[in-house]
Structure 1
Amino acid sequence: MALSLSEEKIVLVVDDDLTNRMVLCALLKDSGYGFIQATNGEEAVKAVEENHVDIILLDVMMPVMDGYQAAKIIKSRQSRFIPIIFLTAMTDESALAKCIDSGGDDFLTKPFNHVLLNSKIDSMLRIGALYKNIEEQNEEIKEQNLQVQQEMILTQKLFQKIIRNDLRGEKTGLQYSMSPMSMFNGDLILAEKNQTSGLDVLIGDFTGHGLSAAIGALPVSDVFHSMTQKCFSFVDMLAEANSKLIELLPTHMFMAGGLISIDRSNNVLSVVNAGLPDMYLFRKGEIIHTFKSKNIPLGISKLASSQFEIEMHTLEYGDRLIAASDGIMEANNSDAEMYGLDRMLKVFENTDQGTDLFDAILTSCSQFCKGAEQTDDITLLEVAHQEQIEFASDKEFSYEQRVASDWALQFSLDIKSLRQFDVLPYIMQAVNQLQPLESGRNSVHTVLTEMFANALDHGILKLDSSMKNTPQGYMDFYQEKQKRLESMEEGNIQISLRHELNGEGGGRLSLNLMDSGEGYDFKNTNTDKNAYSGRGLKLVSSLCTEMKVLGKGNSVMAYYDWGIKKS
């Protein structure tokens, strides 16, 4: 933008000759400029420090301090741009070059042309205005960058707090490594202890990386933790997470994901692979099963719980499941070669002990990519099935504002209700609201789950648990269960829960489930809790104070006693 001469600018005139100063000041006044005078370089330096000066007309040869020295000092002390035009009688090239080297921005030889002087002043003021504009913009950008950086740090802490539930450790069997390409990770790992004392683990890989990719982690984390803690099945959780992502993400974004669930009651692994690379079950030095992607990634299309394809496999202690995002296979070295699947599988072949597998894969990838720039988020996960596990972060559910009381609940579910929804999470929520069971919450849910499965699977649907002796049989069992449930025309389950205080700081929760089935000869049934078949009632008996099978075998009564934990 052109500078208006009506906007008075202050010019510092520096010359030891009075006549020269008077002539210059008169010209400046006629042109609409304000002015300040100085007789030598020292006075010029002081004038600049004490006054606002827009431009300096500086003589070279002066007593006390010459123009060269004054220019150097002024330029070194001022943070803003103040143009300096040297006025000199010297015409040799070396002297003129010295003017520029000393900090001058232009020069004019004496005697000078008045029109040319005004042009140079106007030109320098325009440059000064441009410098000022750039400085203001730089300062604004600096402030904005600082604000963005502070917001990014705050957002990162928020993300970490929301999605953090780190259950890694030798005693839990879970370990993983996440290496984000930028501040925010587009990969996601969530873990929760399930009701069998096993683990439910969700691994996700959003399209892209950085904040735009990580933003989907918030709703997925919320759905995963809340629904798992409320005892919903993992396929119900996946369906809800999928719906949330469809609502939130733009059409070009989605989440490739995998759900890993270890059922410690039955030693069974369940996997839903939705767009991730193959997952591998490693046992005694070899891969015994590969879980390929059989589902579309989340966030693309609406899916009901029943539409997720689940793969199951029986587990032995010492088994390890390895899962990874595509970042590890697509990691590049300095020659732009990808690490690739073959190199990863070679690590499996060269690793005899499963305990070394996780570290061996990470080391192999790291050595291959040494010196190369990371091009994607890299995530590797291992879940080991161990005989003894311990969760350091086990929570005791304490409800300080609720007082134990006497209460009773009854539910009557016909075949349509049993077919349409999973009632157990809602019953558990009611129990949690009514009763401060503290750390017994998981035990009560396990008892209720086993009793309900006994009533539905065996009492009404007449399924034989011996089908679950093999991995394929395990899957066939649940497919047949769904088939019979959809075709069954009659059947019902009665659920009764009653809580009574015992007057000793505790109470008894009574659970009775009765089904409309034909019953069975319960006195001669093997209920060994270590067998894959059976009705699971041995587990119920081990968790409760007392358990009874009543009537013709179609009614089970269990009593769970609890006491106030003394500090």
Structure 2
Amino acid sequence: MKALSLVKDERDAQVWRALFNQQDVALLVAADEADLVRLCQSEKPDIAIVDMGCMEQPSLTIKSLRTMHIRQRIPYITLLTNAVQKKVLANCIRYAHDVITKPCIDSVCKLKLSQAMLINKLRLRIARQRHREQEIASELEHYQLAEEILDTIAEPCRQHYSNIKHYFRPASKLSGDILLVEQLPHAHQYLFMGDITGHGLAASIASLPITQCFTEAVNQGLSMDEIVVSLNNLVCDQLPDNVFCAATIIELNHQDRRLRIWNGGQPDVLIWRQKAHCLQSLPSNSCSLGLTKSQISTQWGEVKLDDYDRVYLFTDGLVEAKNLQNKQFGRTRLDTYLKACDDMDERFDRICMALSQFTDGAEPTDDITFLEILPELPTEY
């Protein structure tokens, strides 16, 4: 804290010096009226002790002290006066915060200084709060703009398909999880589910080139191997070194119910086999996109689906979701719900409801994406 003083009487000045020294307040002493204004403008003190007897134009001087930093914090102005200066004081009091009658009494000045310091702390707290509110408002504007840009670019890949159910819960306003679907002629459906390092604005921005690359690769008719290589090269070459993307890419042929799966660093892909009434687990067979350019595995698995089978994809945010007791939802709990529900049409919704109830009231720590895919051709096609 910093104080500025212009005091005529040496005894009064000594009282204030002692008090400021006790409170560890840095003291600037003005030589005259002009020096007072100059120091107030350059040093921006928190408190100003001004003796009315030291000024030729007290009203103008005090007004200038009060208004020169109107957009910043202004000093807490205390006037020292005596009975002879009452008429002059009447013109100055509206620009000051407090008045002390001379001669200065140690106990009174100590009380006034404590009051000034307390008020100054409150003003600083309010100023910080207002600054934070401005930062939040600016941040929200940036998020809204980013959200509009992301939606515009990714919207063509977010169309609703009757054979896909999805649950999505971001950890913040913007997400690092990506869900892209491309439906091609001849009953072929491509799906990309990605989980970019981190979450929020930075992760969402990283999703833009990935979205564009996947869409172009699928529509150009590239094979699964070529799609993986293209995406991995993009993450390695165009995104920062500390950004990776765990991803699952699937190609679903609706006609012969054939499912091809490439899983790079994501949780197991789960398939509910209705006829056998069991859960099949297909683990990751590669590292995440962007970890290595030369050793990325393009190996993919292939399975045959029956009409009533269901495929489940999810990011790690699902099994790592925590409740108020800091316990995770967990893979075991997910498997239990998948096996326990006999109604195929309600299984996905019940799991989503169980997850919401489990995490109710807890602060989300990661983005969550959860999908159920049916082998049938979407009704839109």
TM over 0.5: yes
CA distance in 1: counterparts of 2:124 and 2:351, whole angstroms: 54
Shift in Å, 1:268: 0.4
Shift in Å, 1:253: 2.7
Match of 1:347 among 326, 337, 347: 337
Contact 2:78 2:100 in 1 (8 A): no
What amino acid does structure 2 have at the position aligned with 1:210? G
1:206 counterpart = 2:196? yes
Contact 1:189 1:202 in 2 (8 A): yes
Shift in Å, 1:267: 2.0
Contact 2:249 2:262 in 1 (8 A): yes
What amino acid does structure 1 have at the position aligned with 2:281? T
Shift in Å, 1:187: 0.9
Change (3 A) 1:222 1:108: same
CA distance in 1: counterparts of 2:174 and 2:187, whole angstroms: 31
Deviates more, 1:253-262 or 1:311-320: 311-320
Contact 1:178 1:378 in 2 (8 A): yes
Match of 1:83 among 77, 85, 93: 77
Q: What's the TM-score, normalizing by structure 1? A: 0.49
Partner of 2:357: 367
Change (3 A) 1:287 1:7: farther
CA distance in 1: counterparts of 2:283 and 2:65, whole angstroms: 74
Relative contact order, higher structure (CA 8 A, sep 6+): 2
Partner of 1:153: 144
Partner of 2:54: 27
Match of 1:230 among 205, 217, 220: 220
Match of 1:163 among 154, 158, 162: 154
Match of 2:102 among 95, 110, 118: 110
Q: What's the TM-score, normalizing by structure 2? A: 0.71
Shift in Å, 1:86: 7.1
Shift in Å, 1:228: 1.1
Change (3 A) 1:357 1:137: closer
Partner of 2:18: none
SS at match of 2:173: coil
Gaps of 5+ in 1: 11-23, 38-46, 56-78, 90-103, 393-567
Partner of 1:357: 347
CA distance in 2: counterparts of 1:112 and 1:315, whole angstroms: 92
Gaps of 5+ in 2: 3-27, 39-50, 68-72, 84-95
SS at match of 2:59: strand
Contact 1:195 1:231 in 2 (8 A): no
Change (3 A) 1:53 1:297: closer
Contact 2:80 2:102 in 1 (8 A): no
Deviations 1:130-174 (A, max 9, x none): 99999988877665554433222101111122122223243xx01
The structure that has the greater radius of gyration is 1
1:390 counterpart = 2:379? yes
Partner of 1:338: 328
Change (3 A) 1:86 1:333: farther
Change (3 A) 1:138 1:28: farther
Deviations 1:408-460 (A, max 9, x none): xxxxxxxxxxxxxxxxxxxxxxxxxxxxxxxxxxxxxxxxxxxxxxxxxxxxx
Partner of 1:528: none
1:242-261 aligned at under 5 Å gives the runs 242-261=232-251
Deviations 1:459-512 (A, max 9, x none): xxxxxxxxxxxxxxxxxxxxxxxxxxxxxxxxxxxxxxxxxxxxxxxxxxxxxx
Partner of 1:504: none
CA distance in 2: counterparts of 1:257 and 1:276, whole angstroms: 6
Contact 1:167 1:391 in 2 (8 A): no
CA distance in 2: counterparts of 1:85 and 1:134, whole angstroms: 25
What percentage of residue pairs aligned between the two structures are identical?
23
Shift in Å, 1:88: 8.0
Q: RMSD in angstroms over aligned alpha carbons?
A: 3.8
Deviations 1:341-384 (A, max 9, x none): 11000001111122212112111211112222111111101111
Partner of 2:206: 216
Shift in Å, 1:291: 1.4
CA distance in 2: counterparts of 1:3 and 1:238, whole angstroms: 71
Match of 2:66 among 45, 49, 54: 54
Contact 2:318 2:369 in 1 (8 A): yes
CA distance in 2: counterparts of 1:131 and 1:333, whole angstroms: 37
Contact 1:167 1:174 in 2 (8 A): no
What amino acid does structure 2 have at the position aligned with 1:157? E
CA distance in 1: counterparts of 2:379 and 2:356, whole angstroms: 31
CA distance in 2: counterparts of 1:26 and 1:370, whole angstroms: 67
Contact 1:284 1:353 in 2 (8 A): no
Aligned residues: 315
Deviates more, 1:182-191 or 1:242-251: 242-251
CA distance in 1: counterparts of 2:183 and 2:129, whole angstroms: 51
1:294 counterpart = 2:321? no
